[in-house]
Amino acid sequence: MEPFKKTKSIVTPLDKVNVDTDQIVPKQFLKLVQKSGFGKFLFFNWRYDENEHPKSDFVLNDSKYDNSKILVAGDNFGCGSSREHAVWALQDYGFSVIISPSFADIFFSNCFKNGILPISLEQNIVEKLQQESEPIEVDLENQTIKTSSDEIHFDIDSHKKKILLEGLDDIAQTYQFEDKISEFEKQSTVPSVL
Amino acid sequence: MGKTLFEKIWDAHIVVGKESGPSLIYIDRHLVHEVTSPQAFDGLRMNNRQVRRPDLTIATMDHNVPTTDRGLPILDQTSSVQIKTLEKNCQDFGIKLFDINSPNQGIVHVIGPQLGITLPGSTIVCGDSHTSTHGAFGALAFGIGTSEVEHVLASQTLWLEKPKPFEIRVEGKRKNPHAVTAKDIILSIIKNIGTGGGTGTVIEYRGEGIEDLSMEQRMTICNMSIEAGARAGLIAPDEKTYDYLRGRQYTPKNYESLVEYWRENLKSDDDAKFEKQFTLHIDDIAPQVSWGTNPGMTCDVTETVPTPEEFSKGDSNQKKGAEKALDYMDLEAGTPIEEIKIDRVFIGSCTNARLEDLIEASKVIKGQKISSDVRAMVVPGSQMVKKQAEEMGLDKIFTDANFEWREAGCSMCLGMNPDILSPGERCASTSNRNFEGRQGTGGRTHLVSPVMAAAAAINGHFVDVRKMDLS
């Protein structure tokens, strides 16, 4: 996984609450067996009309946000289905930071496996960031967001921070505890399925 | 201080615990399906890793399988590739697969309990958010993403932050338990606590209203925990739980000694502390119908579609959400729910496609025909449910009423197979999500119980099923 340290770009404001993963990547695109190439399906039903022409009123179709790496959305972002395809689509499209008042649990966890930084901030701060027209800088090391007029601190669990900063392979980390896993298995009372 | 049931299961599965941050938790059962696993197996191959415990791993294909004749080839090439990929992955890594022709094939959350794979006190994961279903047996069961699927395949463990225990009490007795169902209880709960109300928690459902439910009804409750945002939902096991699992195909050989242990250990202590609480009184609840684009946007069948102001109670973001939902659903605030006409009916999904769901719905249908304006289908949750239903003659009751009787799978719950709504079509659905486009781009979903769906099929619009004779 690519490490994430810092990014600077204008924000893409997505003024919606309860954005579910069915909207982030609709089910008709879940049939691929690889992780790449999901960016073109991101928010597909909001981005395109029935003839697959871009809808002019959807924020991603406004060219001023073309190079944005930071998505700022409403409360309870990523709810619903566990599909990691949602995170692959956001990442492939070019987003590396998602800011929202809150995230659904599975989506939140999926972000860290793919080098995306999800940041929870209070509602009024999120709303202010959605109005920000100048580029903002997100610095994970220092846990800060710098806007043209402000510096905002954000919280992150230290273990998750380390994973993103170093781009760690989760499984390789876990294999360091092989002896503990084997020990656990010896005393486990839950039988095998077969 | 005492512990909650969730905390007991959690503590019994800690491989590596730390003062703060995530713990490494052991996983007893891993269920795998075709849509969220291919990239995980690829990851194993790329790093030359094996599946640590194929004996704790079970796979089936459910999400994209056609529900038409199993003898026919799968026409959709991408679905076919995904299914073949799962077959190959299971073969290469030594995993037991219930494939499309297996009598045990079905929705992963229906077959787990049916086969005795789901066990009380165990940890169960699957790359599917409705894994919470298995919590009905007193298991800690939750959905995970594909990277975590890979992690479990490789290590049989997961790094997890400990969620907070949330007690939901369901008190009282339903006056007409055939008309007011488990689905109405869980929809009422979500309506009250909201789609984010359970975020960061594991819900334990307790109280008389839960104890009264059958195992299949309890699964409906736990299934939709994720629609309230909860990581998992569970119910303490009792004799109904143990009776359900006894003698099934994969029930462990030492089952009775396990039951003895579970009887002693699998309940929350009297002095256990829950971080959050909510109580629902069910004496007078009505059948529920969702009107919007998330499961929290639900009201009684006797009510009218709310105005965005009524729904949002002063929250401007929720108000915007409700306005957009009404627009998408093509509904006017103030419309009586019973006047909403439907085009399609779907009885199926991991929420409501078990034998009991089909029996209850068939009582509504028996001897009647569905409205000529409606196309209706029943998709049994598993091939085993289908077979049992056919042995009882239920298929005949449905087909006589002009329902389509299908093969098992997730089907129109998420429309990954050919069973989808056309743009603008309105569906009474026993599934779990009424998100925009969930059942087909531009389709409009109303979540209801199986009996409410059946009654809507006959009448062509929603009706209060309490008015019908269900004896």
Query: Cβ distance B6 to B120 under 8 Å?
Result: no
Q: Nearest by CB to B55, which of A81, A102, A192? A: A192
Q: State how far the Cα of B186 lies from the Cα of B397, in Å rounded to an integer.
A: 28
Q: State how far the Cα of B277 lies from the Cα of B193, in Å rounded to an integer.
A: 10
Amino acid B470: pLDDT: 76
- Closest Cα in chain B to A169: B151
Instruction: Go through B62-91 and write b for each residue having 16 or more CB atoms within 10 A of its CB, e for each that does not.
Output: bbbbbbeeeeeebeeebbebbbebbeebbe
Residue B97 burial (CB < 10 Å; 0-12/13-18/19+)?
buried
pLDDT digits (tens, 9 = 90+) for B362-377: 999 999 999 999 999 9
B252 CB near a chain A CB, below 8 Å? Answer: yes
Q: Nearest by CB to A192, which of B56, B226, B416? A: B56
* Alpha carbon B54 to its chain's center: 25
Name the token pair of A176. 């360091």
Q: Nearest by CB to B199, which of A105, A185, A192? A: A105
Name residues 93-152 of chain A within 8 A of B (Cβ): 102, 104-106, 109-110, 113-114
Q: Nearest by CB to A23, which of B64, B161, B435? A: B435
Is B191 strand, coil or helix?
helix
Among A151, A19, A36, smallest CA distance to A72 is for A19
B62 CB near a chain A CB, below 8 Å? Answer: no
Beta strand pairing call for B140-143 and B123-126: parallel
Instruction: Give the CATH number, domain containing residue A85.
Output: 3.20.19.10
Cα torsion B465, B356, B181, B443: sign: negative
A48 beta partners: A54
The secondary element (H helix, E strand) that includes residue B278 is strand B276-281
Q: State how far the Cα of A26 lies from the Cα of B346, in Å rounded to an integer.
A: 20
Can you tell me the mean pLDDT for A50-72? 96
Number of residues written out for chain B: 471
Q: State how far the Cα of B202 lies from the Cα of B204, in Å rounded to an integer.
A: 7
pLDDT digits (tens, 9 = 90+) for B118-155: 999 999 999 999 999 999 999 999 999 999 999 999 99
Q: Return the higher-pLDDT residue of A159 and B8.
A: B8
Query: Cβ distance A29 to A155 under 8 Å?
Result: no
C-alpha R_g of chain A: 19
Q: In what order do the strands lie in the sheet with A117-120?
A: A11-14, A70-73, A97-100, A117-120
B294 CB near a chain A CB, below 8 Å? Answer: yes
Contacts of A48 in chain B (CB under 8 A): none
B48 CB near a chain A CB, below 8 Å? Answer: no
Query: Cβ distance B245 to B215 under 8 Å?
Result: no
Can you tell me the mean pLDDT for A40-53? 96
Amino acid B469: pLDDT: 79
Residue at B337: amino acid letter: I
pLDDT digits (tens, 9 = 90+) for B407-441: 999 999 999 999 999 999 999 999 999 999 999 99
Binned at pLDDT 50, 70 and 90, residue B19 comes out as confident
Binned at pLDDT 50, 70 and 90, residue B337 comes out as very high
C-alpha R_g of chain B: 21
A35 contacts B442? CB cut-off 8 A: no
Q: In what order do the strands lie in the sheet with B164-171?
A: B232-234, B201-206, B164-171, B276-281
* Alpha carbon A81 to its chain's center: 14
Query: Is A172 within a domain?
Result: no
Contacts of B143 (CB under 8 A, 6+ apart): A82, A106, B125, B126, B127, B128, B129, B130, B131, B132, B226
Contacts of A18 in chain B (CB under 8 A): 195-196, 294, 321
The dihedral over CA atoms of B36, B38, B43, B48, expressed in degrees to the nearest 10, equals 140
Q: State how far the Cα of B365 lies from the Cα of B363, in Å rounded to an integer.
A: 6
- Inform me whether the pLDDT recorded for B287 exceeds 80: yes
Query: Is A143 within a domain?
Result: no
Q: Which domain holds residue A69?
A: 9-134
Contacts of A84 in chain B (CB under 8 A): 36, 39, 127, 145-147
Query: Is A46 within a domain?
Result: yes
Amino acid A89: pLDDT: 98
- Inform me whether the pLDDT recorded for B158 exceeds 70: yes
- Closest Cα in chain B to A77: B196
Amino acid B471: pLDDT: 66
Query: Cβ distance A75 to B318 under 8 Å?
Result: no
**Model confidence pTM above 0.90:** yes
pLDDT digits (tens, 9 = 90+) for B193-220: 999 999 999 999 999 999 999 999 999 9
Determine the straight-line distance between the first and last CA of chain B, rounded to whole angstroms.
48
- Inform me whether the pLDDT recorded for A194 exceeds 80: no
pLDDT digits (tens, 9 = 90+) for B110-123: 999 999 999 999 99
Q: Which of A14, A23, A27 to mutate to test the interface with B (most CBs of B within 10 A)?
A: A27
Q: What are the residue ranges of helices labelled H in B194-233? A: 208-211, 215-223
Name the token pair of B103. 């009598």
Q: In chain A, at which residue ranges do the beta strands (DSSP E only) sit?
A: 6-9, 11-14, 70-73, 97-100, 117-120, 136-139, 144-146, 151-153
Query: Cβ distance B13 to B26 under 8 Å?
Result: yes
State how many domains chain A has. Answer: 1
Angle (CA) A12-A17-A23 rounded to 5° is 75
Tokens 């779990």, residue located: B432
- Inform me whether the pLDDT recorded for A47 exceeds 90: yes
Q: Nearest by CB to B26, which of A74, A184, A192? A: A184
Query: Is A90 within a domain?
Result: yes
